[in-house]
């Protein structure tokens, strides 16, 4: 529920940009993207990626992850849900994920998960 509100807030940033005075102008798309990046990083941190066995199927891991559930839920309420998701490379470059981004298993799981989420969003 809170994540849905956060995505709605990201949309509101763009909608409210027209109401701001020109002298206080802020790039609403940049602000929206910064907020979306933070939301996705928080969603990725909801799962404990260190407790995954090396022989587990990446698609199975992803399908039961919080972030995948979030994408499924967004698909029901937002017609372009996957457009809100950043590429794995962009996520890995985010300082919020720095402790995880150097782990090859985490990177592989997120890249596999991204491909899986693209397939369920079609």
Each residue's pLDDT tens digit, 65-105: 888 888 888 877 776 667 778 889 999 999 999 988 888 88
**Does residue 22 have a pLDDT over 70?**
no
**To the nearest whole number, what is the mean pLDDT of the chain?**
81
Residue 21 has a pLDDT of 60
Q: At what angle do helices 28-44 and 66-77 cross, to 10 degrees?
A: 140
Phi, psi of 76 (to 5 degrees): -75, -30
* Cβ–Cβ < 8 Å for 23, 42: no
58 alpha carbon, distance to own chain's centre: 18
If we measure between CA atoms, which residue out of 39, 47, 57 comes closest to residue 96? 39
Element housing 31 (H / E): helix 28-44
100 touches 106 (CB < 8 A): yes
């Amino acid at each position: 529920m809170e994540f849905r509100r956060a995505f709605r807030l990201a949309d509101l940033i763009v909608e409210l940009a027209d109401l701001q005075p020109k002298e206080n102008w802020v790039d609403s798309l940049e602000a929206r993207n910064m907020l979306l990046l933070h939301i996705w990083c928080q969603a990725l941190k909801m799962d404990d990626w260190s407790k995954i066995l090396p022989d587990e199927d990446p698609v199975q891991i992803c399908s039961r992850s919080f972030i995948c559930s979030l994408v499924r839920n967004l698909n029901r309420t937002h017609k372009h849900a996957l457009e809100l998701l950043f590429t794995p490379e962009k996520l890995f470059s985010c300082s919020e994920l720095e402790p995880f981004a150097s782990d090859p298993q985490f990177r592989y799981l997120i890249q596999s998960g991204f491909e899986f989420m693209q397939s369920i969003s079609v």
